[in-house]
Amino acid sequence: MLHHHFLLITYPAQGHINPTLQFAKRLIRMGMEVTLVTGVSALSRMAKAPSSAGLTFTTFPDGYAEWDKARADFSHQLSEIKRSGSQALTDIILRSAEQGRPVTCLVHTLLLPWVTGVARRLHVPSALLWIQTATVLDIYYYYFNYYGDVVRKNSNNPSCSIELSGLPLLTCGDLPSFLLTGDDLTSFLCSSTLDSISFSTFQEQVEVLTQETNPKVLVNTFNELEAEALRSVDKLMLIGIGPLIPSAFLDAKDPSDTSFGADIFHGSTDCIQWLNSKPKSSVIYVSFGTLCDLPKPQMEEIARALLDSGRPFLWVLRSQGSGNVKDRDQEEEKWSCREELEEKGMIVPWCSQLEVLSHPSLGCFVTHCGWNSTLEGLACGVPIVAFPQWSDQRTNAKLITEMWKTGVRALVNEEGIVESDEMKRCLEIVMEDGERAREMRRNAEKWKDLAREAVKEGGSSDRNLKAFVDEVVAERVEEMRRNANKPKDLEKETVKEGGISDKNLKVFVDEVPEGRGEETVRNAEKCKDLARQVVNQSGSSDKDHKAFVEEADGERVEELRSNTEKWKDLAAEAVNEAGYSDKNLGALVDKVAEEKVEEMRNGEKWKDLTREGMKDGAVSDKNLKALLDEVAAGRLEQFSMNGGFSHKNLKAFMDDIAAGEEQYN
């Protein structure tokens, strides 16, 4: 069975690797071969990269060998990836072709817009795997193409609302943080440099998509969840293929697929036993993802709210900051309520989030609203307390609370802090048995069911992914077939007037001088080399031939392989000693040399005739000297056509002789 080869390249962060890896698993189940490429720093950190038939891992340099250092210097890492990644990816693609595994399609995640250029240069189809909502991509598209100035001018106006085609009514506070200025909330989460780099990277990504003729964007969402947003931008072909989470939590096509299997963080397994001991829908789960670092005052407010709620809680509290774990541990020990937290709840550095979210004891999910976490919460049917921080998270919070109605949003004070009372209010709304809580739970169950339907056989995401793969494979095979047919077309082009062979032959003939035997031989060898170049230009290279054989199928394959080898052998035979091209070339050289000799003989003949016609001084000394000088210089060809004198020139010449004779007499 023919295996088409998909090359997936992802930014080296957990939130990028997880959906990309799940996408790889889907492709493998469809019979594809997959190579997943990520940064050295991330792969070295993975506890256990999943092994699967059809899946290969490789890396590109990202400036660091250790993930903690890479994470601490986002700016350097991103620039290093862009600087060295292009050549690394080119080498991977070419090496795959040499190994008989040519790339059918290249798919990359966000923050890597330069990948499209590599694919274009190497004539490999490409697509973007967008791991945020379709709504957020639409916002970026409209901002960078149409409404950027308007948004910037009103970024600090809370009453300003923005209406974009196919999207809900938005305020500036609902937009991705990179698009705003003077944003107090993000000021303590990330540096202005980080915002600036992220802004320029997303801008470049949108520009690349806008410049593409038919850009394909695979979105980690599903039609039922974002129907309007997927159709909002006519220029972009947005294809919903999500949720990209392990099969065991969705369609159960692969019950063994219970985790993403490439965790950069090393978690705890004790939490599942702890959850088993808790009543149904009683536990508050708190996690703020892999990149969000909250300051100590905010952590204190969250801690106080959890304790005041009187409910069991599971809090993922990893070591934060620049990787200096000792400093962070010392800071955490200073919390006024740390010991009480550990008595009333459970604190872990990391855990299997899907196992937690799907556990029956879970009551709600306090989340930063990163898209992976949000989608996992929806797929598991868990109500949400939205606690957005930066990037796309505030847009996601808007969708959770107002569009999908599965959660409540925690509001910040003037300092950008969610106070403990506000946090407690949100927890009570979601966890109590009021009408609003029941509505959230009903909606959560609805989206859970729709998410599972989307990825089942015949569901919207299942159909979309199959259609995408079929289209890409068909285009690639057709391209290979066109390349295989090029030898015949190029052969005709090379020998016709103005073609490569025709031009090379004329160059050779022009360079054959009289009496230059050694150089003629060298030119003959040159023509042989040119002939070989013509063969190479008109035929498929070994690399393209291997690629075509791997990509094409059916009865046509054997015929094309046979014809290619036949013409390759005939071409080689033709330029060998005594081959057709060698014989023809030799005959051409002999003919040219013979014509040169004959021309010289004709020149001597006309010299004799001239002397005969000028006896007794019929022609003046001046004219005779001029004529003899021209004859001696071998320039009689100026008076000749097709190798002899024309009738007109000959008559004029004889008239001159007669006139000279009369003058003499």
Tell me which residues are annotated as active site.
16
Closest C-alpha to 237, from 201, 210, 203: 210
Closest C-alpha to 374, from 395, 348, 360, 359: 395
State the alpha helices, DSSP H only, in 496-579. 500-511, 517-538, 542-551, 556-575
Closest C-alpha to 269, from 359, 348, 344: 348
Question: How many Cα atoms occupy the beta-carbon half-sphere of 658 within 13 Å?
Answer: 6
- Return the ∠ at Cα 127 (arms to 123 and 131), rounded to 5°: 155
Tokens of 391: 């990037």
Please give the Cα distance from 225 to 222 (Å, whole number): 6
578 Rama sector, left if φ>0, alpha if ψ -120 to 50, beta otherwise = left
Bridge partners of 170, per DSSP, are 162
E strand spans, 419-508? none
- DSSP class of residue 405 equals -
Tokens of 353: 């989030």
Cα–Cα distances (Å) from 472 to 5, 209, 456, 458, 464, in that order, read 11, 17, 22, 20, 12
Q: Are 93 and 108 in contact (CB under 8 A)?
A: no
Beta-carbon contacts of 201 under 8 Å, excluding residues fewer than 6 positions away, are 78, 110, 111, 113
3-state secondary structure of 34: strand
Please give the Cα distance from 260 to 17 (Å, whole number): 9
Bridge partners of 313, per DSSP, are 284
CB atoms within 10 A of CB 516: 12
Q: Are 96 and 130 in contact (CB under 8 A)?
A: no
Q: Which amino acid is at 577?
A: E
Closest C-alpha to 54, from 97, 1, 107: 1
Please give the Cα distance from 474 to 552 (Å, whole number): 9
Tokens of 492: 């005709």
Cα–Cα distances (Å) from 118 to 20, 108, 206, 294, 593, in that order, read 19, 11, 17, 38, 52
Q: What is the CA radius of gyration of the chain?
A: 38
Q: Are 656 and 622 in contact (CB under 8 A)?
A: no
Please give the Cα distance from 368 to 318 (Å, whole number): 14
DSSP string across 238-306: EEE----S-GGGTT-SSTT--S-S--SS---SHHHHHHHTS-TT-EEEEE-TTT----HHHHHHHHHHH
Please give the Cα distance from 232 to 238 (Å, whole number): 9
